[in-house]
A and B are shown apart, each in its own frame.
With several copies, the nearest count.
Chain A
Amino acid sequence: MAKLHIVNKSPFERNSLKSCLGKSKEGSTILLIEDAVVGALKGTVVADDLSSAIANKNVCVLGSDLNTRGFTEAEILDGIKIVDYAGFVDLVAEHSNVQSWL
């Protein structure tokens, strides 16, 4: 059963998204929350890394944290799914373990 990986720090400031991408398997899910949501934006220096991840992993972003920082669905990369807290709970229930990359 696939795993859920959670990243909460901006990829422009920390290495935790990079570390997560390098140590998560194909078919797993990556959820961006808190300051990590800006990693989902179009046209950034990490957009290529995210696009590669989208090719073989499920990448999600917590919508309320995106809105909190002034962004909406229109501004994020195609292929990244927006979830609310209820969707966050579903992701945790649907995967067999959760790893937070702190």
Chain B
Amino acid sequence: MNFTLLINEGPYQHQASDTAYQFAKAALEKGHEIYRVFFYNDGVNNATRLAIPPQDDRNITENWAALAKEHELDMVVCIAAAQRRGMLDADEAGRQGKDADNIHPAFRISGLGQLVEGGIQADRLLTFGD
């Protein structure tokens, strides 16, 4: 079976991203597939490559990146939500005339259609939010 996961809250402030990560790991361990992980609302903030959490705490972005690498996960950040909140990749920063970018290479930026398509293609869509 395959799942699309929708994550609507940023890292640390809410448990949503942690729960989604633990769920994804357990699903993959049981042999299921993750069709897509879609980051929306403040969820886009999970994609920053600039975070430096305390050494005795988890690094949520790196956890996702490692899981994605191991299982070739498609991790999509909503472009509109990301622009509103200052999350940019190098292409976007160039196009918008911004002098820096901050998105981790494990994530890709795309439109909301990717969420709807994820709901159509996957057997189940799960929302993790506040």
Contacts and interface: CB of A to CB of B under 8 A. Distances in A.
Is A in direct contact with B (CB under 8 Å) within the complex?
yes
Interface string A62-102: 00100000000000000000001110111011000110101
B127 A86 contact: no
Interface residues of A, number: 19
A100 B15 CA distance: 14
A86 B129 CA distance: 20
Contacts of B19: 8, 33-34
A86 B126 contact: no
Contacts of A86: 26, 29-30
Contacts of A102: 8, 127, 129-130
Interface in B75-129: 123-129
27 contacts: A8-B15, A8-B16, A8-B129, A34-B15, A34-B16, A34-B19, A35-B15, A85-B25, A85-B26, A86-B29, A86-B30, A88-B23, A88-B26, A89-B23, A89-B26, A89-B30, A92-B126, A93-B1, A93-B32, A93-B124, A98-B124, A98-B125, A98-B126, A100-B129, A102-B8, A102-B127, A102-B130
